[in-house]
Amino acid sequence: MDNVLEVENLKVELGGEIILDNLSFKMKEGDILAILGPNGAGKTVLLKTLLNTLPFSGKIEWKAGVKKSYVPQRLPFIKDVPMSVMEFFKLKNISDNTIKESLLSVGLGEGTMVKNIGDLSSGQFQRVLIGWSLASNPQVLLFDEPTTGIDIGGQESVYSLLEKLSKERNLTILLVTHDLAIVHKLATKCLCLNKKIFCYGSPKELDVGQLSQLYGGEVKIFKHSHD
């Protein structure tokens, strides 16, 4: 199998409602797939299904032995838990050195280890989540809107980090986002989704008219300052 992931005729039905229907796509090593679509389109359900946490019909085939890690959209409850960053990482049963290396890889110093999670900014916490996901040395990262609730400066920082990590580690990334500028900046492929595949191909093939129809309104693409 040359592809990291092959999906064919994927269908997900929950509570009698079809959430995803007839999805087919492939990913090669190093691909960055941006998953686009309006709220309720099934984007998060797709990520969870790819991780085999939801029932489905069709085919999901990962390359044998590939290690995957998932960064959720948000973990609001955890910021209320009296837990340090180190204690959070220790849930993975990893060494102090691995924790330090993981934090450094996402631009956080060793001093972050002793901070309480609740004292971190939203941008710092997102970096901690990314570092936590990297601690197990995955080949594939699945991100569900990694900049939700982060200010613009923090968003710039997180996207720059993802670009850096993808190159340094040759990661294969699936990224749910509403940010069309980032699609053009980072993605090698994009999947437009509204329960069914609306469009699939390279970012250069994205048609503003199609996107406007997908989102049900006018779509504009703004460039980020790090372009």
Half-sphere exposure of 205 (CA within 13 A, CB side): 11
Beta-strand pair 68-71/196-201: unpaired
Mean residue pLDDT of the chain comes to 86
Under the banding of pLDDT at 50, 70 and 90, the label for residue 45 is very high
Out of 58-62, 66-70, 81-85, 214-218, pick the least confident: 214-218
Give the whole-angstrom CA distance, residue 103 versus residue 129.
10
Under the banding of pLDDT at 50, 70 and 90, the label for residue 150 is low
Query: Could you read off the pLDDT of 19-41 as tens digits, one per residue?
Result: 999 999 999 999 999 999 998 89
Half-sphere exposure of 110 (CA within 13 A, CB side): 4
Out of 5-19, 81-95, 170-184, pick the least confident: 170-184
Give the whole-angstrom CA distance, residue 132 versus residue 57.
31
Q: 163 vs 178, which has greater pLDDT?
A: 163
Under the banding of pLDDT at 50, 70 and 90, the label for residue 226 is very low
Query: Could you read off the pLDDT of 188-208 as tens digits, one per residue?
Result: 999 999 999 988 999 888 777
Query: Could you read off the pLDDT of 106-115 as tens digits, one per residue?
Result: 889 989 999 9
Position 225 pLDDT exceeds 50: no
What residue spans define the domains of the chain? 1-66+140-148+172-227
Position 142 pLDDT exceeds 80: yes
pLDDT for the residue numbered 41? 93
pLDDT for the residue numbered 151? 54
Residue with tokens 């079809």: 18
Position 171 pLDDT exceeds 80: yes
The verdict on domain 1-66+140-148+172-227 having CATH code 3.40.50.300 is: yes
Residue 200, strand partner residues: 191
pTM: predicted TM-score of the whole model, two decimal places: 0.86
